[in-house]
Amino acid sequence: MANIEGRNSWVSGAWNASDIASAQTHLAPFIDELRGQASSTAPGRTASLIELQVAQLLGLEREESDLGEKMKSWYSSPEFSEGEKAILEITEQFVLDVHSVTDEQFEKLRKYFSTPDILAMLFHVALCDGFGKLEKVA
């Protein structure tokens, strides 16, 4: 599992199969595989950016990194491509109010990513959001 710039994340083990096994033994065999697949199918560094964005939006405790610091102003930073900014915009909207994700935001994504890439990224957003919220209440 990837460890984002030396930090623990839900993908790299903040929630692992043994945590799930203690509560729901039938889910344990699938959790690590699901997280690994979701992360590995997102194009480029988008999986890492999604994880950082969700952690920041949910106020999750994470060790600061150079990329994490740049994420605080992603919307105006030349560090991020227009495609990366498009997925970060949808990630932010999804976490804050999923019902307010717009068709225009999806159109931006379609300029830069294929349908399979978009589905992989959105699946990763949903998992990060869900596991992040579990982390908040646990």
Greatest CA separation for the chain: 45
Please answer whether residues 124 and 50 qualify as being in contact, where contact means their C-beta atoms are separated by less than 8 angstroms.
Answer: yes
**Per-residue pLDDT tens digits for 15-54:** 544 555 565 666 666 776 777 777 778 888 999 999 999 9
Distance CA 39, CA 1 (A): 9
Structure pTM?
A: 0.77
